[in-house]
Amino acid sequence: MAFRAYARLRLSVRDAAWTKEAVADLRKRYPAALDAVPFVVVSTPNGADARAFLEQLQPDLAIARCKMILKKEIFEIPRVGTFVMHPGICPEYRNAHGCFWALVNRDLNRVGMTLLKVDAGIDTGPVYLHGTCAIDERRESHTVIQHRAVIENLDAIGSILLALCRGEQVPTVDTTGRRSATWGQPRLMAYVRWKWAAASAARNAAYVRPSAARNAAYVRPSAARNAAYVHPSAARNAADVHPPAARNAADVRPSTARNGAYVRRAGSAERTRLV
């Protein structure tokens, strides 16, 4: 009760504004003539009027967006089955407000949603998708985060459901051996612990320890000297050309020069006689 009162006073206005903007964006991304879709207003999805409506439509599949556990005679009417986009990663965060409790537990890798097929248990059916998204846990409420986990995975969700309707074999997520737990409604003190931990994590991420900063900027004197120092012998070797090598490169042996420029007199005489 305490958390509900706090959420109504401090969170509801901002969450409602976010929801309005998100719905408008979804209508732009997925335009549809909703007026042509049959609908019925019922007091409970497990009632006789809801059952009659579904039996008349004979849908391929149904998506349950209610907070009630459906009866078997309801969720088995669709040909492929009834599916939920559960706000939490199953089986670790079954039942209510899985995203909230994952945030409180600092189990940030399991802040997300689960696409699963409804069975007789509580979020125990076959899992087809675990969807996550980037979050800003300091500024966003858990309600916004759990909605974004669904919205940002809608394309993947749609692809899986359409494939199931076509009769394709869609692999399920293997959850064998994983911890399974059910959770309940948010509590105010748990919310305070979450937000405190989120603020502390943000401060730690932005903080650079003074010693680390000094180490990053510091160059050891010996390293600086070694980097700038050239060993005398290395300097001489780099600048010095060995005397024999210099003489060999510049010197042309007299015999070679004479041989290159010398024309045998005999040859000259022979050419003269031929002419």
Inside any domain, residue 268: no
Going by pLDDT thresholds of 50, 70 and 90, the confidence category of residue 1 is confident
Note the pLDDT tens digit of each residue in 7-41.
Answer: 999 999 999 999 999 999 999 999 988 888 999 99
85 close to 99: Cβ distance less than 8 angstroms: no
152 close to 131: Cβ distance less than 8 angstroms: yes
- φ/ψ of 101, rounded to 5, equals -75, -30
Inside any domain, residue 246: no
Q: What is the pLDDT of residue 85?
A: 97
Is the confidence at residue 73, as pLDDT, over 70? Answer: yes
**What pTM was estimated for this model as a whole?**
0.74
Note the pLDDT tens digit of each residue in 214-227.
Answer: 666 665 666 556 65
Inside any domain, residue 123: yes
Give the CATH number, domain containing residue 118: 3.40.50.12230
Going by pLDDT thresholds of 50, 70 and 90, the confidence category of residue 265 is very low
Structurally, how many domains does the chain consist of?
1
Inside any domain, residue 250: no
Inside any domain, residue 125: yes
Question: What are the tokens at 42?
Answer: 């019922």
Task: Determine the structural domain holding residue 176 and report its residue range.
Answer: 64-69+80-206
Query: What's the rounded mean pLDDT across residues 65-89?
Result: 96
Q: How far apart are CA 121 and CA 129, in angstroms?
A: 18
Question: What are the tokens at 79?
Answer: 């040909």
- Give the DSSP letter string of 218-263: ---HHHHHHHH---HHHHHHHH---HHHHHHHH---HHHHHHHH--
Note the pLDDT tens digit of each residue in 166-189.
Answer: 999 999 999 999 999 999 999 999
